[in-house]
Amino acid sequence: MKKLVFIAAIFFAGIISTQAQEVGIDIGKKAPDLIGNDPNGQTIKLSDTRGHVVLLDFWAGWCGPCRRENPNVVNAYNKYKDQKFQNGNGFVVFNVSLDRTAEQWKSAIQQDKLDWPYHISDLKWWQSKHAAIYGIRSIPSNFLLDENGVILAKNLRGPALEAALQKYAK
């Protein structure tokens, strides 16, 4: 009987481990990697942020609700960027812009003081390949990822973002 319980435990642990590595956009799935150019034309990847808790944030400089949410994201970044988490060291934001022009994108980053290093855009507005991968139909939209890129939560705005970060902080 003990042998059967042991085998069942290993089996279920294997299923849970496999599910955590399955790529997708649902909570508990590993977030699809994104590769794009930053405002300086350098290629960066979402996977460059591994080891940190990450807010994958879809937005645009032309989007009023996004711009109104940016102060909340900036405050969360400043408060938690050096925090130790149950599932990562530090907090970073990885912005994906749905802007059409580099000028508008760069200007909004500067005006809203989005002072983290992770910004990408293909400047294709709603035809963005990055937005398509994540099924983005409206912005702002975001995903909170653990240190391995597994999705912990979605669409956290205002106090909900703060609460989620506090929940995972050590």
Could you read off the pLDDT of 28-75 as tens digits, one per residue? 999 999 999 999 999 999 999 999 999 999 999 999 999 999 999 999
Total domains present in the chain: 1
Q: Residue 168 above 70 pLDDT?
A: yes
CATH of the domain at 30: 3.40.30.10
Q: What is the pLDDT of residue 92?
A: 98
pTM over 0.75: yes
Question: Is the CB of residue 17 less than 8 Å from the CB of residue 29?
Answer: no
Q: Residue 2 above 80 pLDDT?
A: no
Question: Is the CB of residue 36 less than 8 Å from the CB of residue 121?
Answer: yes
More confident residue, 78 or 18: 78
**Helices 64-80 and 159-168 meet at what angle, rounded to 10?**
30
Strand-pair category, 43-45 with 35-37: antiparallel
Q: Residue 12 above 80 pLDDT?
A: no
Residue numbers of the domain that contains 72:
2-168
